[in-house]
């Protein structure tokens, strides 16, 4: 059974073009969303993914209707494949029920993984380079070195209440104990 999914980004747009194409392709049931693709929660897509069964084919007008990005699209495709559900994109002419369609999609998956690995390598290299120059990552300290020394002296003076130290430096109790240890 061919199951369609159509999505537009705003309430002002209409689904007619996509629905007509999905009906022409032979979809027996069509699920719809009028919400940005960037949103994680898409009720129509969730219903479509819950509805399809092994042997069904999920059909979209365009690839970008299904996934929020390449990684999200690949993840959805892998889930469909595990469940024995095919996928068709009418505009890009991708059909994972054919050997050629599967090949194209696996190439997309390989490119997405390659991109993730490049990003990871660049991040690690950038952090190493920064450390070599003496730059520490993370948030900047709220207090200067002088303020930290004064805070430690105040803490050692048992006559000064903890609350007064916290209020003076506008810090939390956990921050105080982090600095005095």
- Is 128 among the catalytic positions? no
pLDDT at position 74, please?
Answer: 81
Express each pLDDT in 59-111 by its tens digit.
999 888 887 777 778 888 888 989 999 999 998 888 988 898 888 878 877 87
Output the furthest CA–CA distance in the chain (Å, rounded). Answer: 83
The answer to whether 31 touches 51, Cβ cutoff 8 Å, is yes
Q: Which residues of the chain have pLDDT under 70?
A: 12, 37-40
Among residues 9, 36, 128, 175, which one is catalytic?
9
pLDDT at position 38, please?
Answer: 63
């Amino acid at each position: 059974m061919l199951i369609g999914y159509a999505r537009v980004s705003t309430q002002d747009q209409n689904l007619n073009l996509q629905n007509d194409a999905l009906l022409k392709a032979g979809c027996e049931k069509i699920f719809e969303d009028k919400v940005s693709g960037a949103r994680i929660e898409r009720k129509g897509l969730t219903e479509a993914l819950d509805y399809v069964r092994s042997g069904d084919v999920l059909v979209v007008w365009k690839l970008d209707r299904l996934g929020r990005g390449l990684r999200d699209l690949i993840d959805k495709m892998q889930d469909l494949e595990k469940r024995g559900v095919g996928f068709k994109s009418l505009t890009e002419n991708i059909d994972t029920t054919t050997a050629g369609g599967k090949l194209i999609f696996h190439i997309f998956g390989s490119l997405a993984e390659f991109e993730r690995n490049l990003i990871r390598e660049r991040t690690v290299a950038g952090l190493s380079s920064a450390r070599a120059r003496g730059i520490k990552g993370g948030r900047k300290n709220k207090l200067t070195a002088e303020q930290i020394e004064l805070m430690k002296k105040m803490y050692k003076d048992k006559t000064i209440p903890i609350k007064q130290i916290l209020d003076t430096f506008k810090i939390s109790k956990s921050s105080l104990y982090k600095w005095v240890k």
